[in-house]
């Protein structure tokens, strides 16, 4: 009987030692990229910062017209490693630029293990229709 107890105790110590020596899961460090998406004399410009399960999109958008078609918004789409979309978010209506430049910041979720591989940033009109887009990350 003592042999079985000793063997069981030895296995428990081995498992405990292995778990104690295992490195803790590391959080993905925040990685930032500059973006610039132009269309004629309008643009959106700023940074995208990748986190474990989201991407922060922050910057300034410029419009030279006051019509809905001429106003500008910024859209962000998170993408997985195959380039498939995860989710989308946009600058808020109060951030819309019409005949001016306006700051914005918003978070695009990427609720998958490891977060987004890429983000697609688009300059959009006042209807939130994408006019011009670029992809960042990788």
Averaged pLDDT of the chain? 85
> pTM for the full model?
0.79
Quote the CA–CA distance of 4 and 119 in Å, as a whole number: 57
* pLDDT for 93: 87
What architecture is domain 31-137?
Sandwich (2.60)
Model confidence band, residue 1 (pLDDT cutoffs 50, 70, 90): very low
Predicted confidence (pLDDT) per residue in 47-94, tens digit:
999 999 999 999 999 999 999 999 999 999 999 999 999 999 999 988
Q: What tokens appear for 30 in the block?
A: 């925040």
């Amino acid at each position: 009987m003592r042999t079985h107890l000793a063997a069981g105790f030895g296995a428990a110590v081995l498992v405990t030692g292995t778990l104690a020596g295992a490195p803790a899961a590391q959080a993905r460090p925040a990685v930032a990229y500059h973006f610039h998406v132009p269309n004629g004399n309008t643009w959106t410009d700023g940074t995208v910062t990748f986190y474990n399960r989201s991407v922060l999109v922050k910057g300034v958008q410029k419009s030279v017209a006051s019509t809905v078609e001429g106003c500008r918004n910024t859209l962000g789409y998170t993408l997985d490693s195959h380039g498939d979309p995860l989710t989308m978010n946009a600058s808020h209506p109060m951030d819309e630029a019409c005949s001016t430049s306006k700051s914005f910041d918003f978070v695009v979720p990427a609720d998958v293990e490891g977060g987004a591989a890429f983000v697609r940033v688009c300059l959009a009109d006042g209807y939130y229709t994408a006019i011009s887009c670029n992809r960042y990350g990788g």
